[in-house]
Amino acid sequence: GKSATDRHTTASNMACLTAAAVACGHSRVSPGTRGRPIDHGRRAARIVRAAGSEDMNAPPFVVPRDCFQDKTYPPELKAAKQLKLLVTMVAVRVVLAQEEGFGNECHDDPSYTELHDDLTTFLSQNPLGKLWDGEWLEKLIRHPKLNCRLAAVRIIEVRDVYLSKEFDWGQYKSEAFDDMDECYKRLMSEHMERSMLG
């Protein structure tokens, strides 16, 4: 069998490749991969064992609890927080767009509503992302100006509808999987080619 040194080297190489594949998850997905069904069986065959573990029933690896500086754990909770922020941003932009278009159908020069101006002013003073989205909405809905409070109600309603009825969960998942899948195959192919050339 392999020596302990060989096993450690193999595990280290696989860990590096896995990290690289995850890092490449931020790259653009080519249009040709969008909407392609995910082959879960093929993906499930890729198993990265923790270094030194030969127990095939053991978890593939352990996710450290200190992955993120804000101590968020597990990573799924971090993803959920980012998704909530994203959906809130979308809702804010929807409300602003509605106010930009209100009464402007027959005019070349758009005139913005007072609500649009008040919400834009609030945004410039309280950038979304600096505060947790819940705190940001609480601050907006407690604002002394009625327009800001009305905007907060609309934003809450829009993001609820968007997340529950409009957000494409299938595309969300396939975009992430397809992108990492393409990156995995490309990096592994390049790695194998370099290894064979010595």
CA neighbor of 142 nearest in space, from 151, 129, 133: 151
User: Residue 42 is which amino acid?
Assistant: R
Measured on CA atoms in the order 50, 56, 188, 170, is the torsion positive or negative?
Answer: negative
The pLDDT of residue 70? 83
The pLDDT of residue 65? 86
pTM of the model: 0.62
Q: How far apart are CA 72 and CA 141, in angstroms?
A: 27
Q: Which residues in the chain land under pLDDT 50?
A: 2, 4-38, 40-42, 44-45, 104-106
Burial 6-25 (b: 16+ CB within 10 A, else e): ebeeebeebeeebeebeeee
The helix or strand, by DSSP H or E, that contains position 43, with its residue range, turns out to be helix 40-44
The pLDDT of residue 187? 92
The pLDDT of residue 108? 57
| Per-residue model confidence as pLDDT tens digits over 95-146 | 999 998 765 444 555 668 999 999 999 999 999 987 777 899 999 999 999 9
DSSP letter at 108? Answer: S
By the 10 Å C-beta count (0-12 exposed, 13-18 middle, 19+ buried), 98 is classed as middle
